[in-house]
Amino acid sequence: MNTALSALGRRTAPPPISWLMKTALARPKLISLAAGFTDNSTLPVEISRKLLNEILRSPKTGQPALQYGTTAGAEDLRQLTAKHLQKLDGGHDRAHSPERVLITGGSQQLLYMTLEALCDEGDIILVEDPTYFVFLSILQSRGIQARGVKLERDGIDLIHVEKVLTRLKNSGELRRVKALYLVTYFQNPTGATTSLAKKSAALKLLKKFERAAGHPLYLLEDAAYRELRFDHGEDVPTSLTLPGAAERVIYTGTYSKPYAPGARVGFGILPEEIFSVVQYIKGNHDFGTANLLQQLLARALSSGLYDQHVAKVQKNYARKARVMKLALAEHFPKSVEIWESGGGLYFWARLPKGISAGVKSNVFQSALKADVLYVPGELCYADDPSRAKPDNELRISFGSANEENIRKGIARLGKVLKKFV
């Protein structure tokens, strides 16, 4: 008998990372520099307890928190979110409208629903090379094509974006392109941050190709790691601050990484046309994100405890990133190129050309034997027929490991690399 699964069901594959996680669990001494988890020790246990007590102290605030809310999200949290983003963007309010804020179960859910709203099977999304691999899993599952654009230290290579768009125009495929997806702050996996100049140029470039596409081309800005900045560098404004943003920027962010993944609340700001549709899709998914978590985040934001907590988290990651930086300098061969990051959870390492760090490589297998795990960079590249996937890169996370394990893990990994590089 055949399967009853849909095309989507048949396409949907186990995530590559789940295999990595199982590997990690099977080796109790293994140090994982793979997981994108946040640091357990920084989680806001005390703050959450205090705030939940306040909410549940009286029926007046407790009952609404335990009841259904509206699909778009709690009014106060939508307001606070718009205000929070305005503040981060230096007071800008061009496209920071609470009416277009949608509260979701993490920004992941918003990415998923946005792709549902925009893309049919066979449609095309431009992505960074490399990019966030769970986004690639969504594309794969939904039968959406990806086209990679080159990534530099300050964001995408604009000349390459234009080249890719031109090629798609010439081949008649431009009408299938719906958006350019950028992870703009301390990118997963490379740690790169996109400059405002590049966001602005990308938005203009998309506009230029709209007539040929026959429909709007959206800039999908994923700012999940934005608040995990620790380098005291200047914050880069979001593309919401740019002219035309209200019509063409789909912005996603999250309280999950800076506050707590276990109290999963994310959000998006979407152009009018997209907003309603994604809101209705959200209604079909779950009617709206759990109110209790929304109220928790609203109180954290309005009390100032959220900002205090984020400052603490930033300090912790700054320390751990420094530990990793020093360990890398001490243990890694000099021929390995390192992209340090000023925020987020990841460093990116590139081996000399010709040396693979992929899942089946000697490097990866030897690292496993030496009880240290990283994410092979090749997993972060889209299936794009127009280029081969580089396999000489590693995503190394300082997120969940403690300082001692970061030192040990990097030492182990360095020893392995010295055998092959």
Name the minimum Å distance from CB 219 to a copy of itself: 12
Name the minimum Å distance from CB 293 to a copy of itself: 6
On the CB side of 14, how many CA atoms lie within 13 Å of its CA?
7
Decide whether 2 or 234 has the Cβ nearer to a copy of itself. Answer: 2
Enter the tokens of residue 308: 């205090």
Decide whether 296 or 413 has the Cβ nearer to a copy of itself. Answer: 296
Name the minimum Å distance from CB 314 to a copy of itself: 18
- For 401, other C-beta atoms within 10 Å of its C-beta total 25
Phi, psi of 253 (to 5 degrees): -145, 180
Phi, psi of 234 (to 5 degrees): -75, 140
Decide whether 305 or 327 has the Cβ nearer to a copy of itself. Answer: 305
Decide whether 265 or 417 has the Cβ nearer to a copy of itself. Answer: 265
Name the minimum Å distance from CB 309 to a copy of itself: 11
Name the minimum Å distance from CB 307 to a copy of itself: 18
Enter the tokens of residue 152: 């530099």
Decide whether 288 or 414 has the Cβ nearer to a copy of itself. Answer: 288
Name the minimum Å distance from CB 193 to a copy of itself: 24
Decide whether 280 or 308 has the Cβ nearer to a copy of itself. Answer: 280
Name the minimum Å distance from CB 38 to a copy of itself: 7
Name the minimum Å distance from CB 151 to a copy of itself: 23
Residues 109 and 140: their CA atoms lie apart, in Å, by: 16
Residues 401/236/261/119 CA torsion (nearest 10 deg): -120
Q: Would you mind telling me the total number of residues written for the chain in this entry? A: 421
Name the minimum Å distance from CB 286 to a copy of itself: 5
Decide whether 265 or 367 has the Cβ nearer to a copy of itself. Answer: 265
| Residue 412 · residue 330 · CB < 8 Å | no
Residues 101 and 274: their CA atoms lie apart, in Å, by: 11
Q: For residue 155, is it left (φ>0), alpha (ψ between -120 and 50) or beta?
A: left
Residues 17 and 34: their CA atoms lie apart, in Å, by: 9
Decide whether 69 or 390 has the Cβ nearer to a copy of itself. Answer: 69
Exposed e or buried b per residue across 325-357, where buried means at least 16 C-beta atoms within 10 angstroms of its C-beta: bebbeebbeeebebbebbbbbbbbbbbeeebbb
Decide whether 7 or 326 has the Cβ nearer to a copy of itself. Answer: 7
Q: What's the Cα-to-Cα distance from 95 to each of 73, 92, 218, 338, rounded to whole Å?
A: 18, 8, 14, 36
Distance from first CA to last CA of the chain, Å, rounded? 51
